[in-house]
Amino acid sequence: MSGVMTTREFAEYSIVRNLAGGGMTRLFVALAGPRNRVVIRLLTEEFARSHRARRSFFHSAEVMSKLNHPNIARLIKTGYEGHTPFMVLEYIESRTLRDLILYRDALLTQNVLSLMRQIAAALFYIHNSGFLHLDIKPENILVQNDGHVVLIDFDLAIPTKRWFKRIRALPGTPSYIAPEALTRRVVDEKSDIYSFGVTCYEMLTFHKPFEGDKIEAVRSMQIDPAIPPTRLRQHNPAVPAALESMVLKCLAKQPSDRYPSMSLVIRDLEAII
């Protein structure tokens, strides 16, 4: 990996700068030719030696290769450079939705319904294509300066089943994980709908549905059926009642009380002016 930064070359690409990274992967902006920018995502040296990590890394690329939607990042290619697995993704000039929330950016506050509808459209497409994303959160949503949304990071994506799928490890980030995944390790489309609801809640209120100083206390509130999320209009009275109802339905503790599909979420979102 040090060779990448020293020579500024990787495979047939010229590294321009670090973009981000954490955990198993690193991201770089690179040039493919004099003007064509791309993003190179690769496994760190440590994880590149792990068969499980390599399998997970290429699994996410395989999922992305089957998706073709304007609100989903496009995979260009995958491969190895020496012993380092990598993928090449389209470059998207953007900020994360997390950045917009942190700074209460006008791009978010003035276009919040449009952004929510685009995220919903991407998630509906993913489900219709036979997958669960399982990591919907503001960090995995890019927003371009014109308000166009792009969903990224399919590391946790799995094929959809006609029934709840039991998983070995908790998917995603705790605050965005549905109660049934926290307690019974089972997921389906409604688990993604819950994560979408948490994301929308943050977009509208700059708070999470359940907050506290200790992770254990927050998790307890997430899974306790007797503790509902704080109503959105307590944080932001300007939220329309219909929009608050839509988000709270996504956040229902019992999966059977949530929307059964993203198509109905989109229906209700489209009805809000």
Which residues are tagged catalytic?
135
The token pair at 244 is: 């608050």
| CA gap 61, 87 in Å, rounded | 7
Tokens of 3: 């060779």
Q: Phi, psi at residue 141, to the nearest 5°?
A: -125, 120
Q: Which of 180, 190, 125, 181 is nearest to 154 (CA)?
A: 125
Residue of 150, 157, 143 whose CA lies nearest to 73: 150
Specify which residues 13 forms β-bridges with. 10
CA 263 to mean position of chain CA atoms: 18
**CB 180 within 8 Å of CB 186:** yes
Token pair belonging to 218: 């927050």
Q: Which residue has the tokens 């300007």?
A: 238
